[in-house]
């Protein structure tokens, strides 16, 4: 099974994360931030990943360190669980509607980290959550996962809908790109013979 357990402790956060790529979408999320709990639950459900996240962070400051470090831990978990990436489909894309919001995401599980985040979120906050932290989460994730990810907002007015669409789309593209292509299950999907 493609699984990983990450423990990440810094002066700012204490994170325990468990990931099963070949799961059923079960999640147990406690980040200290209700909005982030909601987004990671959506990601887990739509990606069919079993995901457990416990984060104790310096939320008396704000949610920045927690959100960024969860992105780092999740990216590390995917990198470990995918291992040599043998047999994966590698590429995926989606255009996903969330009410008035429309989100395009495209991914290459390539071993190379790159994030293109072309999103204009209309408000600075959703509840007590700083919306600029979404970019920080994906920066941390792509850097540690070694994944190229393009996120583009095609339309949207409601900040919650836009971010929710991003996380649902993220789950769907990760599900597709990380799934095993049975026809090529013993092959690395690269002419190099490795993904890096």
pLDDT tens, residue by residue, 180-196? 987 766 666 554 555 55
pLDDT at position 191 is 46
At how many degrees (to 10) do helices 133-145 and 64-82 cross? 30
What digits encode the pLDDT tens for the residues 64-77? 999 999 999 999 99
Residue 194 has a pLDDT of 53
CA neighbor of 43 nearest in space, from 116, 105, 111: 105
* Domains by residue range for the chain, with CATH: 3-184 (3.30.230.40)
Residues 145-184: pLDDT tens digits?
A: 999 999 999 999 999 999 999 999 999 999 999 999 877 6
Tell me the sheet residues that pair with 16. Answer: 7, 54
Task: Confirm whether pTM is higher than 0.85.
Answer: yes
Residue for token pair 């990931």:
19
């Amino acid at each position: 099974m493609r699984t990983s357990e990450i423990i990440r402790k810094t002066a700012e956060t204490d994170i325990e994360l468990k990931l099963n790529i070949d799961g059923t979408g079960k999640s147990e999320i406690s980040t200290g931030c209700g909005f982030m709990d909601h987004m990671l639950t959506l990601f887990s459900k739509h990606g069919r990943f079993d995901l457990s996240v416990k984060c104790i962070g310096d939320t008396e400051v704000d949610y920045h360190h927690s959100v960024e470090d969860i992105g780092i831990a999740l990216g590390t978990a995917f990198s470990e669980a995918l291992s040599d990436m043998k047999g994966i489909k590698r590429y995926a894309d989606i255009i996903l509607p969330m009410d008035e919001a429309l989100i395009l995401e495209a991914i290459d599980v390539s071993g190379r980290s790159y994030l293109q985040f072309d999103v204009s979120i209309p408000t600075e906050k959703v509840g007590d959550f700083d919306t600029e932290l979404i970019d920080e989460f994906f920066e941390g994730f792509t850097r540690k996962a070694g994944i190229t990810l393009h996120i583009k907002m095609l339309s949207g007015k409601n900040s919650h809908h836009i971010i929710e669409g991003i996380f649902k789309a993220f789950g769907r593209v990760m599900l597709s790109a990380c799934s095993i292509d049975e026809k090529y299950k013993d092959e690395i999907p690269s002419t190099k013979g490795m993904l890096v």
